[in-house]
Amino acid sequence: MKLYYKDYDTAYENNPDCEIKECDDYDYLKYINRIQQKSIQTLYDYKGREVEKIPYNSDYILVRFWYDNESNEKYFYDGLEYQRHDENEFTQPIIWNCSTPEQFYNNFLNIPEHNDLPIEFISNNQIKKLKGKKFYNKNNKAYFVDNQGYYYMGCKSDIKYKKEYEEFKDEKNAVWVTYGVPCSGKEFHKWFHSIDDFQIEYQKYVDNLPRGYGKPTYKILKHGYKKVTPNDCKYLARLPYFNLYKEYKLKKVNTYNTKSISNTLARKWCGLLKGYKMYGEPFQNEDYITDLINKWIEYSKL
C-alpha cells in the first residue's frame, strides 16, 4: 500500500516505524491518461471534484481520480474511485469502489477492438476456422465461443437439414411446396423429388380431408434443390462482443450466487443488443442470453 505525503518530515511523523522513500514510480500516470482519453464528459461532484464519465457496455462508469491541487496544478496519486451505472436500469449506485488506475484500466477498458455488426450468421466450417469451442449441444440448442472471445448461438436444425440435403441434393426436378387449407391455420412446407411426386401426395391429402373442412390450396415456391452443404449452412448467430469471463470474475468478488450473476450479466449483454435484429425481428429475449451464460459457467467449471 502506498501512502502519500507532501514532505519527508510529515511522512516520518505519521509513520515512524516505516521505511520512507521518495516516490519514483510514475508508471500509473500513463493509465490515468488512457482512462481520461476514454471519457466522454467531465462532471463535478458536490465537493467540486472532477468526475469522468466513461462509456461501458450499454451505459457508463463514473471515475473520480485521487489528486491534489497545488498552485492550480493537479498532482495525481496512484488511486481512483468508480461507480458502475451499467448494471441495473432500475436503481442508481451510491457506493464508490476503490482501485488503482492500472487495475481499473485492465478490468474495464483494456479490451481488443471489435467491429460489431448487425447480428450475422456463420456456418460450421467458418466456426472451425475460428477454432470455436462448442460448450453446449442439447435440447435443440448449440452454443459456441471462438478464439477472439465472440459467442454464438443456434438451433440444432442442422440435423434435420443433413437428412434433407442427403435426400435432395443436386436434384433439378425437386420442388419446394406449401399446401393446406388456409382457413384451418394448418399448412405444410415440404420438398418433393418432382411435381409428379407432389401431386400423388397432394391427392391423398385432399381425399382424406373431412367434409366441410375447407378448400385446400397449394403453391410451388422453388424448382430445383440448390442449397449449400450442411457444414456451409449459416445457422449460428454471432452476438455482439461481451467479455464474459472478465465480467463474471468482477461480479463473483461480491457474490457467489450464480443465478444472480447470470441475470445481471444477461441484462448487460442485452443492453448491447438494443437495435440488433435476428431473423428480421428485434432481439428482445433475455432468457436466451441467461441460458447461454449458465451453460458457459457449467462448462468452464467456475
DSSP string spanning 178-195? EEEEGGGTEEEEEEESSH
Question: What pLDDT, on the 0 to 100 scale, is given for residue 117?
Answer: 47
pLDDT surpasses 90 at 1? no
Distance of CA 157 to CAs 4, 6, 154, 210, Å?
63, 68, 9, 32
DSSP conformational letter for 69: E
Which three cell numbers, joined as nine digits, stand for 156?
440444432
pLDDT of 185 over the 60 cut: yes
Task: Label residue 156 by pLDDT band (50, 70, 90).
Answer: low
What's the CA gap between 170 and 226, in Å, rounded?
7
pLDDT value, residue 92: 75
The DSSP line for 259-283 is HHHHHHHHHHHHHHTTT-EETTEE-
Q: Are 302 and 261 in contact (CB under 8 A)?
A: no
The CA-atom distances, in angstroms, between 204 and each of 26, 101, 198, 222, 292 are: 84, 74, 10, 22, 44
Q: Exposed, middle or buried by CB within 10 Å (0-12, 13-18, 19+), for 46?
A: exposed
- The reported pLDDT for the residue numbered 67 is 85
Strand locations in the chain, DSSP E?
41-44, 50-56, 59-70, 73-84, 97-99, 120-122, 133-136, 141-145, 151-155, 175-181, 186-192, 217-223, 236-238, 277-278, 281-282
Please compute the mean of the pLDDT values over residues 53-75 and round it to a whole number.
Answer: 83
Is the Cβ–Cβ distance between 66 and 98 less than 8 Å?
no
Q: What is the pLDDT of residue 223?
A: 93
pTM (2 d.p.): 0.55
More confident residue, 130 or 15: 130
pLDDT for the residue 41: 93
The rounded distance, in Å, linking the Cα atoms of 172 and 208 is 30
165-182: per-residue pLDDT in tens?
889 998 999 999 999 988
How far is residue 246's CA from residue 302's CA, in Å, rounded to a whole number? 12
Q: In the numeric block, which cell numbers belong to residue 166?
A: 442427403
pLDDT band at 88 (very low <50, low <70, confident <90, very high): low
Cell of 192: 418433393
Residue type, 8: Y
What DSSP designation does 45 have?
-
Name the most confidently modeled range: 5-9, 213-217, 252-256: 213-217
Q: Supply the pLDDT for residue 115.
A: 46
Please state, in angstroms and rounded to a whole number, the distance separating the CA atoms of residues 204 and 189.
Answer: 16
